[in-house]
Structure 1
Amino acid sequence: MTKRKFKYKSAFDIIGPIMVGPSSSHTAGAVRIGKMARDLFKHTPRKLIVTFFGSFAETYKGHGTAVAIVAGVLGFETNDERIPDSLEIAEQQGVHVEFLVSRTPTDHANTVNLELIDNTELLNLTAISIGGGSIQLTEINHHSTLLEHSQGNGLLLTTFEPQITLPNVREALESPEFIQVQELNKETIIFVETVSDISQKLLAKIKNLPGITTVMATTG
Structure 2
Amino acid sequence: MRYKSAFDIIGPIMVGPSSSHTAGAVRIGKMARELFRCLPEKLVVTFYGSFAETYKGHGTAVAIVAGVLSFDTNDERIPDAIEIAEKLGVTIEFLISKKQTEHANTVNLELKTQKDVLNLTAVSIGGGSIQLTELNHQPTFTESASGHGLVVSTNEPKLAEAQINTALERPIFVRIQDLHNESVIFIETVSEITQNLLEKIKNMSSITTVFSTTG
Q: Please, which of 14, 37, 61 is the counterpart of residue 42 of structure 1?
A: 37
Task: Give yes or no for the alignment of 1:155 onto 2:177.
Answer: no
The equivalent residue for 1:85 is 80
Q: Which moved more, 1:67-76 or 1:136-145?
A: 136-145
**What's the Cα RMSD here?**
1.9
Normalising by structure 1, we get a TM-score of 0.89
Give 1:91 shift.
1.0
Tell whether 2:215 aligns with 1:213. no
Residues 1:179 and 1:72: Cα distance change in structure 2 (over 3 Å): same
Could you say what secondary structure the match of 2:33 adopts? helix
- Tell me which residue corresponds to 1:101: 96
Aligned counterparts of 1:172 and 1:81: Cα–Cα separation in 2 = 34
Deviations 1:42-82, CA, capped at 9 Å, x for gaps: 22111111000001101111221111111110111122222
- Give the structure 1 partner of residue 190 of structure 2: 195
Q: Is the 8 A contact 1:168 1:209 kept in 2?
A: yes
Of 154, 177, 181 in structure 1, the residue corresponding to residue 176 of structure 2 is 181
Q: Is 1:24 aligned with 2:19?
A: yes
Change (3 A) 1:152 1:72: closer
Which of 196-205 and 50-59 deviates more?
Answer: 196-205
Letter in 2 for 1:79: N
Unpaired segments of 5 or more residues in structure 2?
A: none
- Contact 1:127–1:135 (8 Å) recurs in 2: yes
Q: Distance between the aligned counterparts of 1:48 and 1:147, measured in 2?
A: 26
SS across alignment from 1:213: strand
- 1:18 deviates by 2.3
TM superposition shift of 1:103: 0.8
C-alpha displacement of 1:94: 0.6
Match for 2:9 among 9, 14, 21?
A: 14
- Cα distance, 1:23–1:166 mapped onto 2, change above 3 Å: closer
Tell me how far apart the structure 2 counterparts of residues 131 and 120 of structure 1 sit (CA, whole Å).
34
Alignment partners' CA distance in 2, 1:153 and 1:16: 14
Instruction: Among all aligned residue pairs of Structure 1 and Structure 2, give the percentage whose two residues are the same amino acid.
Output: 67
Q: Which deviations, in whole Å up to 9, do the C-alpha atoms of 1:8-35 show, x marking residues without a partner?
A: 3320122232222222221121111111
Residue identity in the other structure for 2:108: N
The answer to whether 1:126 aligns with 2:126 is no
How far is the alpha carbon of 1:210 from its aligned partner?
1.4
C-alpha change, 1:40 and 1:90, in structure 2 (3 Å) is same
* Contact in 1 for aligned 2:131/2:141 (Cα 8 Å): no
Aligned pairs, how many? 215
- What is the rounded CA distance, in whole Å, between the counterparts of 1:148 and 1:64 in structure 2? 26
Change (3 A) 1:149 1:30: closer
**Per-residue CA distance 1:123-171 (angstroms, 9 max, x = gap):** 1111111223222222222222224655463222111122432322222
